Amino acid sequence: MVLVLEEPLGMNTPVIDVSSLQSWGETNPIHVPTNYSVNSNLETSPFPINHTLNKKIIFWEGDITQLRVDAIVHSTNETFTDHCPLSNRIFSKAGPGLKQEIYEEIRECRTGDVVVSKAYKLPAKLIIHTVGPKYNPKFQSAAENTLHNCYRNVLQTAYELKLKSLALCVINSVRRNYPPDEGAHIALRTIRRILEYQDSKGDSFLQTIILAVESCDAGIYEVLLPLYFPRSQKEEEAAILQLPAGRNFGPFGEPIFPDRQIRIIDNPHHHINEDDCSVIDLSGHFDMMGDTSFTHMQGDMDQQRLLGERHVAPTIDPFIAKEIHNQERYDRLLRRARSEDLSEVSGIGCLYQSGYDRFGRPVIVFVGKWFKFKDINLDKALLYLIYLLDPLVKGDYVIAYFHTNTSNANYPSFTWLREVYNILPYKYKKNLKAFYIVHPTLWTKMMTWWFTTFMAPAIKQKVQSLPGVEYLYSVIPRNQLEIPAFITEYDMTINGLRYFNPSSTT
């Protein structure tokens, strides 16, 4: 049910009732190709299908102040002076009563904590305020723990207040330098584990959690939600390939760093007994030690000479040695690419240069449908890639990948992609200014996120997913973009004739 509230300035604001929104469990699972392969340390997903929990989650892109719920969450700063769009809307629509309560009674909220206020003129009953952490790579573990505490304290407060419906905003903020995808992992993992715990206790205090996201975060949550709340067996299996590996988490999703824990024993003369010792997490303390000289201290050199210790010649840095090896390997492949007959690959037409973009940078086109991964000679495909791109990547360049009408036969394995990425020198990553993916599917977005996060972080910020050909014309003139007819025909069926607008060809 949608009602309308009259704002002071005469503008009507729709009020959205929870019952009118579709639960996550009622949405369609993504289509997962059957032949995608990638190495994973996980044998089974730690987040199996749970239809009960899926019914409690609502994924919604919109204005959280429109929701008629028991409480909404407000992410702010310690003194409630954050002037982000969300804070401004909440204070504006709630009216002066909210400011008065905060400045006279609440006053402040510490990072990681929560405070509760009335919602006043908002359709919600209460507002749960919390303060997300500032992010610094040196103090990553502290930031992760604090963000987890924000979500956990919000849900704990909702439990104590016996709330039935809660609208959660994204608590982490890019204005505080928090990486949005890492923050989404913490949010979804914490929500999942706490809901599981409550469900195991037979306590259904929260019947609905609305993940109310802004447009800037919608794509991230759309990709990551199936990892923690899979709706089908295939989504659960796909999650095994994409969930972050090598990390330990507690029963409520809190990050654990075993290598940064020590045991304190009451009596050092006794053998270690689990009941006699405590575990202290030193994550924050180690992170604060920015100067690593302490960990690299050497013994007294004069004493070493007196004791007859032999001087060990310094060894080559493993990273430098690896780079040298990769460069030598690339040089050998480049020589082969210039001398061997590659016509059987070049004749396929799946990779070619197509003019220049509006900045004068060469455009490399890759047609996914014509790349038959299982049938093509992969060794010669790599050689042709090097032969074509080596003279172009000395300066800036862009790639346009068309995912149009592809099938399982067109998807390369992650093992091969990783090998190619590691072989290509640094100039390929540095001078690539944009990687456009046209006609992507949700599965493509998920796997692109996984690959660029864990295998190719250097190009992560350069990847852009575009729903149609016409979106390329703002950066690539139409007369500079040569693509197969089937791509434009497909584009017309889903986007109409918009990209034939003469004004877009200049």
pLDDT at 205: 78
Same domain membership, residue 68 and residue 214:
yes
For residue 18, is it within any domain? no
- Domain containing residue 162: CATH number: 3.40.220.10
Q: pLDDT tens, 222-263? A: 889 999 999 999 889 888 877 876 667 888 888 886 544 444
Give the end of a domain, one of 191, 220, 249.
249
Q: Tokens 């991230």: give the residue.
A: 220
Pair 139, 208 in one domain: yes
Question: What pLDDT is recorded for position 143?
Answer: 93
Q: What SS3 class is residue 88?
A: helix
Same domain, 462 and 496: yes
pLDDT tier, 448 (very low <50, low <70, confident <90, very high otherwise): confident
Q: Which residue has the higher pLDDT, 241 or 156?
A: 156
Mean model confidence pLDDT for the chain = 82
Tell me the C-alpha distance between 360 and 395, whole Å. Answer: 10
CA-closest candidate to residue 404, choices 378, 371, 433, 373? 371
CB distance 222 to 24 below 8 Å: no
Return the DSSP state at 174.
G
| Residue 81, in any domain of the structure | yes
Q: What is the rounded distance in angstroms from the CA atom of residue 437 to the CA atom of residue 457?
A: 17
Give the DSSP H/E element, type plus range, for residue 164: none
Instruction: Look up tokens 């972050």; give the residue.
Output: 244
Q: Considering Cα of 433, then 435, then 436, then 441, what sign does the dihedral take? A: negative
Which comes out higher in pLDDT, residue 12 or 80? 80
Distance CA 157, CA 467 (A): 41
Please compute the mean of the pLDDT values over residues 337-345 and round it to a whole number. Answer: 91
- Residue 128 maps to a domain: yes
459 and 347 both lie in a single domain: yes
3-state secondary structure of 176: helix
pLDDT at 305 over 50: no
The model's confidence at residue 447, banded by pLDDT at 50, 70 and 90, is: confident
Confidence of residue 274 (pLDDT cuts 50, 70, 90): very low
| Residue 24 contacts residue 212 (beta carbons within 8 Å) | no
Domain identity same for 350 and 481: yes
Residues 380 and 470 in one domain: yes
437, 464 Cβ separation under 8 angstroms: yes
pLDDT at 298: 42
The answer, yes or no, to whether residue 201 has pLDDT greater than 50, is yes
Alpha-carbon gap, residue 83 to 261, rounded angstroms = 39
Query: Taking the model in full, what pTM does it have?
Result: 0.66
pLDDT higher than threshold 90 for residue 96: yes
Flag whether pLDDT at 351 surpasses 60. yes
**285/416 same-domain check:** no
**Per-residue model confidence as pLDDT tens digits over 364-384:** 999 999 999 888 999 999 999
Residue 158 lies in a domain: yes
- Where is pLDDT greater, at 189 or 295? 189
Give the start-end residues of each E strand in 307-384: 351-356, 362-367
> What percent of the chain is predicted at pLDDT more than 70?
79
Other C-beta atoms within 10 Å of 219: how many? Answer: 17
pLDDT in tens, 393-429: 999 999 999 999 998 888 888 788 888 988 899 889 9
Q: What percent of the chain has pLDDT over 90?
A: 51
Alpha carbons 102 and 129: distance in angstroms, whole number: 10
Report the domain count for the chain.
Answer: 3
Task: Give Cα 496 to chain centroid, integer Å.
Answer: 32
pLDDT at 239: 84
Same domain flag for 216 and 237: yes
Confidence of residue 318 (pLDDT cuts 50, 70, 90): low
Q: Check pLDDT > 90 for residue 79.
A: yes
**CB atoms near residue 374 (< 10 Å):** 12
pLDDT of amino acid 14: 87
Residue 57 and residue 135 in one domain: yes
Q: Is the pLDDT of residue 278 over 50?
A: no
Same domain, 61 and 141: yes
265 and 240, same structural domain? no
Residue 191 lies in a domain: yes
302 in a structural domain: no
Per DSSP, what are the bridge partners of residue 248? 256
| Residue-by-residue DSSP string for 252-291 | TS-EE-GGGEEEEES-TTSPP-GGGEEEEE-HHHHHT---
Q: Tell me, what's the pLDDT at 111? A: 94
Asked if residues 347 and 385 have their Cβ atoms less than 8 Å apart, the reply is no
pLDDT digits (tens, 9 = 90+) for 204-227: 678 999 999 998 888 889 889 999
**450-503 pLDDT, tens per residue?**
788 777 888 888 999 999 998 898 899 999 999 999 999 998 888 875 544 444
Query: What average pLDDT does range 148-169 have in this prediction?
Result: 95
pLDDT value of residue 15: 93
Task: Check residue 317 and give its pLDDT.
Answer: 59
What is the pLDDT at residue 279? 41
Amino acid at 381: A
Q: Please check whether residue 37 lies inside any domain of the structure.
A: no
Residue 10 confidence (pLDDT) above 50: no
CATH number of the domain to which 353 belongs: 3.40.525.10
Q: 433, 462 in Cβ contact below 8 A? A: yes
**281 and 383, same domain (yes or no):** no
Instruction: Quote the domain boundaries for residue 266.
Output: 257-297
282 in any annotated domain: yes
pLDDT band (50, 70, 90) for residue 302 = very low
Burial 339-373 (b: 16+ CB within 10 A, else e): eeebeebeebebbeeeebbeeebbbbbbbbbbbeb
Cα separation, 365 vs 152, whole angstroms: 46
